[in-house]
Amino acid sequence: MKSHTYLGVVLFSVFFTCASSHAAQLNVELGEQSKSWSTAELLALPQMREINIPADVSYKRAMNYKAVPVAVLLKSVKPDEHIQAVAADGFAAELPAAPLLNTQGAKAWLAIEEPSKPWPALGSKDYSAGPFYLVWQNPQAGNIGPEQWPYQVATLRRLPVVAERFPALLPAADASEEVQLGFAQYQKNCMACHRLNKAGDSQFGPDLNLPHNPTEYFKPEFLSRYIRDPQSMRHWPQGKMPTFSEASISNVELKQLLAYLSHMAGRKLQ
């Protein structure tokens, strides 16, 4: 889930993993407005609230957190800009800024784990979602998907949009509207873990076009089932790919994503 372009993230991740929770720091990289926030500084912000998340994506149950609105940390960011949330392990969620800045509908919060009150472990893992976790209230109002809930967040950074940073991901100029919409679905649901044509900041999952695109070796109906529930197709206890329910990606959106992947099979990086 890491790129050589972001060596600083790799080095920070090592520090992040080895440091005690008392020394946890969140990097917010916004150019001249960049700042590192400690746990204590974030908890001391006047906008800090205790919030309830009825259906937490990572914990699969209701959770209560001390949290600050993400918008408070992104004061110089404009709605048409782009934010990348990088986790300690390099998971890189691509997020349009507009939903993060919303005060109505779906609202983004940065949940903060207190060192004296650690959160529970994530399932069978030996670690929690902390020390910083991006959570959403009323996520359905903004069509927020599970990949937009990054946990163990180490860095929030302002970056150019995906199409500008990674032209190898772009469909052909004359591609259908369905393919273009599928590119948007790819950015939302796949880029946090995968690269395509070697393009992207994540190295968590395999490249989705090289050497082979999944549309080349999966029948469409089986690829759809695999995306919906990977373990239903390939039982693998160590598998990390999550399920994608219809609440996360509708059947129409899934069809768009498959159209994009199929299209990109003909645009392999040479």
Q: The sheet that has 107-112: what strands, in order across it?
A: 49-53, 63-69, 107-112, 132-137
Closest to 268 measured CA to CA, from 168, 165, 191, 190? 168
For the chain, what are the domain ranges? 4-159, 166-264
- Can you give the pLDDT at residue 238? 62
- Identify the weakest region by mean pLDDT among 70-74, 168-172, 218-222: 218-222
Q: Is the pLDDT of residue 239 over 90?
A: no
Percent of the chain residues topping a pLDDT of 90: 64
Torsion of CA 147, 151, 154, 157, to 10 degrees: 30
4-159 CATH choice from 3.40.50.720, 1.50.10.10, 3.90.420.10, 3.60.130.10: 3.90.420.10
- Identify the weakest region by mean pLDDT among 29-38, 43-52, 186-195, 232-241: 232-241
Architecture per CATH, 166-264: Sandwich (2.60)
- Can you give the pLDDT at residue 64? 98
**Pairing of the two strands 153-159 and 25-29:** parallel
Residue 144 to residue 142: CA distance in whole angstroms: 5
Residues 41-46, mean pLDDT to the nearest whole number: 97
Q: How many CB atoms lie within 10 A of CB 100?
A: 26
Closest to 227 measured CA to CA, from 260, 211, 251? 251
End-to-end Cα separation, the chain, in angstroms: 23
